[in-house]
């Protein structure tokens, strides 16, 4: 589903699972969102993701690196306890900008372009 509001363009990717089975598709969608003309930042909504394996984690890190290389903002939203624990154990909770929920992210960034 895609929604585009005027003003700056921020992509929000929402997904149900982020594991080895879905990481490839997610990484392609994430790359497209990061590189899309006019997009200044990307947030990944993890509200429905209860578990994150190494492939999913690598997809997030890859997206972060790609966004940084293009001077785009990259954030995670709605990180549940299972995913938060993995981020903390890998110390990536210090690397990613994490918002409590998508609404908090939207409030800081004004406009949203939804993918996925």
Query: Exposed, middle or buried, 91 (CB in 10 Å: 0-12/13-18/19+)?
Result: exposed
d(CA 61, CA 59): 6
- Mean confidence (pLDDT) of the chain: 87
Tell me how long the chain is: 116
CATH architecture of the domain 9-115 equals 2-Layer Sandwich (3.30)
Instruction: Tell me which of 4 and 75 has the higher pLDDT.
Output: 75
pTM as predicted: 0.84
- Structure confidence by residue, pLDDT tens digits, 29-73: 999 999 999 888 899 999 999 989 999 999 999 999 999 999 999
Q: How far apart are the two ends of the chain, measured CA to CA in Å?
A: 6
The dihedrals phi and psi of 71, each to the nearest 5 degrees, come to: 55, 40
Helix H or strand E encompassing 43:
strand 39-45
- The mean per-residue pLDDT over the stretch 79-98 comes to 95
Least confident of 18-27, 54-63, 91-100, 102-111: 102-111
Domain chopping of the chain, boundaries: 9-115
DSSP alpha helices (H): ranges in 18-101? 23-35, 54-69, 81-89
- The mean per-residue pLDDT over the stretch 92-111 comes to 86
d(CA 32, CA 28): 6
Helix H or strand E encompassing 14:
strand 9-14
């Amino acid at each position: 589903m895609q929604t585009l509001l005027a003003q700056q363009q921020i992509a929000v990717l929402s997904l149900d699972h982020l594991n080895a089975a879905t990481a490839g598709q997610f990484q392609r969608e994430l790359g497209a969102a990061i590189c899309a003309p006019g997009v200044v930042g990307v947030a990944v909504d993890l509200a429905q993701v209860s578990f994150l394996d190494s492939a999913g984690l690598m997809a997030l890190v890859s997206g972060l690196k790609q966004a940084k290389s293009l001077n785009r903002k990259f954030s995670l939203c709605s990180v549940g306890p299972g995913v938060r624990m993995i981020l903390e154990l890998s110390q990536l909770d210090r690397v990613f900008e994490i918002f409590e929920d998508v609404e908090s992210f939207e409030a800081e960034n004004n406009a949203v372009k939804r993918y996925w």
